[in-house]
């Protein structure tokens, strides 16, 4: 069996999800290939989309939010003369040669751009393969309604109504969760995790800001440091080396363990009592799988605001605002036993720790 995973680098989560699926399948001797779709078709286009996304979400997030909302409220693209159809026709030409050579049995798309191209090729009868799209947030992104795949993986069945409103046949939906590394489905005792990390056995708050280190974490840590409560802080800055350097140079009363990019996030989550984070799709899924109470900060307008709405409306998180700053959110959470217990129980109900296993089992059943 051959599986082709198509991703787009804009937003690290799409690639993370694809790699989680590929690694799991390879353990079962399934032949896999991972392709950055736009970069393969046209490296300049791929780089432009990636940099454009990073720039807009980091420096002009409100503009990005407006674009996202406009896309979400538009009518479904229809007809052979739509911009979407024409672009997919142009972009698909180079991909066809790869598909002809590789001959996959299943194509898995973790980004809507890839899903639309595969939908176009299936509609034209150019390829005959099973197709699966993975929606990597707790909302149905714009343009998924323009795709026509065999299956759609979503974060939870609570999104079925939204998908149906967008014209997606719910019989095609696999509400098994966003694929994450299987290690997030395992739970380690707090003391054991803290011993592995070499930190004290005391209340621990984890603060993250995505793979690119978005958000003013120095200010957040400063606000936390003023609190008259005994806890330690673990900070993960991702790939943002400047942010790590700034936090390393901070003088704080509380102990701050500061990481850059690390492969120990699962152990760090087990060591923590709560997480202060942006509500990215993958980080949210990992936190829910670990049953880790969440405090949301700095959601990017657009998909992350939708993620935040899902979490708040389902009793899965607290959210920081101008009138409810991070120190108050931490105080509420750390001094409210039933609230923490409720958040953990809801995470168990909504989280999908076995999403990758369940999806891979489905893929392997398509032989």
Q: Which domain holds residue 292?
A: 183-350
Q: What percent of the chain has pLDDT over 70?
A: 84
What burial letters (b/e) apply to 122-142, b meaning 16+ CB within 10 Å?
beeeebebbbbbbbbbbbbbb
Nearest to 355 by CA among 154, 209, 68: 154
| Residues 159 and 276 both lie in one domain | no
pLDDT digits over 302-359, tens only? 889 999 999 999 999 999 999 999 999 999 999 999 999 999 999 999 999 999 999 9
User: How high is the pLDDT of residue 367?
Assistant: 76
Given a cut of 50, is residue 11 above it in pLDDT?
A: yes
| Residues 203 and 345 both lie in one domain | yes
| Residues 258 and 343 both lie in one domain | yes
Given a cut of 70, is residue 86 above it in pLDDT?
A: no
| Residues 346 and 358 both lie in one domain | no
Total structural domains within the chain? 2
Work out the average pLDDT over 75-81: 53
| Residues 269 and 169 both lie in one domain | no
| Residues 330 and 240 both lie in one domain | yes
CATH of the domain at 9: 3.40.50.2000
Give me the phi and psi of 21, to 5 degrees please: -65, -45
Report residue 120's pLDDT band, with 50, 70 and 90 as the boundaries.
confident
Given a cut of 80, is residue 73 above it in pLDDT?
A: no
| Residues 280 and 241 both lie in one domain | yes
Report residue 185's pLDDT band, with 50, 70 and 90 as the boundaries.
very high
Which comes out higher in pLDDT, residue 117 or 159? 159
Give me the phi and psi of 233, to 5 degrees please: -120, 135
| Residues 215 and 86 both lie in one domain | no
User: How high is the pLDDT of residue 89?
Assistant: 56
């Amino acid at each position: 069996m051959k599986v082709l995973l198509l991703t787009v680098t804009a937003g690290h989560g799409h690639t993370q999800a694809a790699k989680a699926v590929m690694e799991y399948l390879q353990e079962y001797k399934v032949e896999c290939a991972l392709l950055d779709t736009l970069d393969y078709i046209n490296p300049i286009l791929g780089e432009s989309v990636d940099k454009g996304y990073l720039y807009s979400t980091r420096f002009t997030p409100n503009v990005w939010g407006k674009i996202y909302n406009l896309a979400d409220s538009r009518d479904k693209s229809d007809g052979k003369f739509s911009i979407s159809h024409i672009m997919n026709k142009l972009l698909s030409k180079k991909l066809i040669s790869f598909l002809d050579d590789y001959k996959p049995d299943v194509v898995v798309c973790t980004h809507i751009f890839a899903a639309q191209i595969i939908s176009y090729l299936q509609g034209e009868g150019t390829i005959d393969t099973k197709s699966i799209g993975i929606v990597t947030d707790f909302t149905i992104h714009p343009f998924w309604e323009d795709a026509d795949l065999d299956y759609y993986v979503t974060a939870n069945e609570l999104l079925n109504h939204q998908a149906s409103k967008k014209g997606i046949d719910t019989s095609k939906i696999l509400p098994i969760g966003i694929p994450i590394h299987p290690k997030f489905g395992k739970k380690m005792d707090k003391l054991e995790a803290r011993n592995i990390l070499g930190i004290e056995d005391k209340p621990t708050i984890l603060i993250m800001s995505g793979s690119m280190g978005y958000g003013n974490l120095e200010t957040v840590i400063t606000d936390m440091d003023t609190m008259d409560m005994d806890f330690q802080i673990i900070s993960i800055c991702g790939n943002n080396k400047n942010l790590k350097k700034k936090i390393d140079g901070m003088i704080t009363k509380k102990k701050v363990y500061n990481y850059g990019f690390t492969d120990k996030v699962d152990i760090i989550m087990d060591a923590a009592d709560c997480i202060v984070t942006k509500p990215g799709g993958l980080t949210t899924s990992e936190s829910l799988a670990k049953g880790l109470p969440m405090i949301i900060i700095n959601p990017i307008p657009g998909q992350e605001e939708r993620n935040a709405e899902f979490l708040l409306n389902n009793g899965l998180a607290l959210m920081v605002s101008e009138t409810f700053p991070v120190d108050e959110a931490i105080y509420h959470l750390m001094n409210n036993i039933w609230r923490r217990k409720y958040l953990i129980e809801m995470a168990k109900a909504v989280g999908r720790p076995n999403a990758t296993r369940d999806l891979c089992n489905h893929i392997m059943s398509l032989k």
